[in-house]
Copies of this chain bind each other. A is one copy, B any other.
Amino acid sequence: MTVAHPGLTVWFTGLSGSGKSTLSLAVSDQLAASGYRVQLLDGDEVRLFLSKGLGFSKEDRDENIRRIGYVAELLTRNGVITLVSAISPYRSARDAVRIRIPNFLEVFVNAPIEECERRDVKGLYKRARAGEIKTFTGISDPYEQPLHPELECRTDLESVPESVQRVIDAILSQIMPK
């Protein structure tokens, strides 16, 4: 049973290890189980498909985000709830995507970098500290926090189910008729 609803892009931004993948996957599963039309675009996966050859300079990161934004826009305009999980460290690149998409919800997945580094789910912080990754967001490359995100999830202070519920509430309040 599919629910009829307009499209929406939910953009999860935050440091590596902040909880973007965990949150976006849980939100996706819960919405899909309730019959919503939902598509998760994971930054790492999309990069493989759309951005072969791009690196991690500001220019290449921005181009990667622009491409993800284009796909999110197409899906959103066709009535899909599109969840993007991508570090997307530059404010200007996120704002450029926002402008193009009719229905946009920015979720700042926020945990202190010390906490992200302590989690170090993928072992990337360790490699960054060892100098094996030269441009690592938060360590040797900038992360520009959102100034006015629609939602902020402090994943060091609230549980995953609490964050998931707040994101879902925000989504439903945007797409459901008042």
Interface centre among A4, A39, A50, A78 (most CB of B within 10 A): A78
Stretch at the interface among A19-27, A62-70, A110-118, A128-136: A62-70
Residue of B nearest to A37 (CB): B78
Chain A residues with CB under 8 Å of chain B are: 2, 4, 37, 39, 41, 49-50, 52-53, 63, 66-67, 70-71, 74-75, 77-80
- Distance (Å) between the CB of A44 and the closest chain B CB? 14
Report Cα–Cα, A67/B2, bound state, in Å. Answer: 28
Residue of B nearest to A70 (CB): B49
20 interchain pairs, CB-CB under 8 A: A2-B4, A2-B79, A37-B79, A39-B74, A39-B77, A39-B78, A49-B66, A49-B67, A49-B70, A50-B50, A50-B67, A50-B70, A52-B63, A53-B53, A71-B71, A74-B75, A75-B75, A78-B79, A78-B80, A79-B79
Residue of B nearest to A73 (CB): B49
Known: A2-B4, A39-B74, A50-B70. 18 other contacts (CB 8 A): A2-B79, A37-B78, A37-B79, A39-B77, A39-B78, A41-B74, A49-B66, A49-B67, A50-B50, A50-B67, A52-B63, A53-B53, A71-B71, A71-B74, A74-B75, A75-B75, A78-B80, A79-B79
- Distance (Å) between the CB of A19 and the closest chain B CB? 24
Report Cα–Cα, A70/B52, bound state, in Å. Answer: 13
Q: A74 contacts which chain B residues (CB < 8 A)? A: 39, 41, 71, 75
